[in-house]
Amino acid sequence: MIIRKLKIIIAIFFLPNILEANTQYFNEADYYISRVLSGVDFRAKNLEAFDSLENSSIDLYASYKSLYLQNRDNLIMKVGLFLTNQQFLDTDMVAALDDQIAMVHHARDFGWDTLLSGQHYLNEGNNQQLQLVPFLARLIPEAGDMNIALGILLLNLHNPVYTAETVASLDVISRGKLIFGVGLGYRDVEFDAFAVPRGKRVARFEEYLELIQKLWTEDNVTHRSETCTLNNVRMNIRPIQQLSLIHI
């Protein structure tokens, strides 16, 4: 489960409660993507054709899609869509979900590589969001061949057995295309809600990450700490991937 290569993702952020889910997103995004990728080394032979997109009057959609799909496996830099999943309190969350599904379809159809979303609890102010795991589970069947990224899951807030089984399940549901992004978090309201002393957030992060890796790879796991006790257990549900699953 150790990372063997670095995957760089360019995330384009959208506010679905302000903008409508339509091609305007991708007209603007494709322009910036063409600029970002114009300096990327392609191993294929059509670099000049791709570079010409920046100043071309031809249909950027069709050209970008065709060239990207041809070179998808040879790109050094890959392009993903980060759905913030944060909405105003008066937003119809069912309608907002439909808009986000429409954005996923558009990203999928135009060859984007990865779909990401993030996690928070007890959102403050004029803000609400769906929780990360069920949200991504709903989007997986809409995403086609896109990778699916937890970007990020607040690792030290959750019981490591729950996290290990949940992430393994998501990897199976995504058919081995899950990226497990983890982070420490920074909000006191979240640490207080999950009884994580701020001075122990790093220690628990390291403990949980190590234990999750053991549960995915070992047949007899014993662990004793103030938050989790395991006596010679085996976790039977395992992720499909054996490498490059965890991103910190």
Return the closest-CA partner of residue 128 out of 94, 82, 165, 93: 93
Q: How far apart are CA 121 and CA 116, in angstroms?
A: 17
HSE toward the beta carbon, residue 142, CA cutoff 13 A: 17
End-to-end CA distance of the chain: 12
Q: How far apart are CA 235 and CA 85, in angstroms?
A: 31
The two three-digit tokens of residue 108, written as one number: 């999928």
Contact by Cβ (8 Å): 124, 118: no
Q: How far apart are CA 25 and CA 230, in angstroms?
A: 48
Residue 153: what pLDDT? 96
Residue 9: what pLDDT? 35
Residue 36: what pLDDT? 43
The per-residue pLDDT string of the chain (248 residues; one tens digit each, 9 = 90 and over) reads 333 333 333 333 333 333 333 444 445 445 444 444 444 433 333 444 444 444 444 455 555 556 666 666 665 677 889 998 899 999 999 999 999 999 999 999 988 999 999 999 999 999 999 999 999 999 999 999 999 999 999 999 999 999 999 999 999 999 999 999 999 999 999 999 999 998 999 999 999 999 999 999 999 999 999 999 999 999 999 999 875 566 66
The H or E element containing residue 247 is strand 246-247
Residue 140: what pLDDT? 98
pTM above 0.75, yes or no: no
Residue 87: what pLDDT? 95
Residue 79: what pLDDT? 83
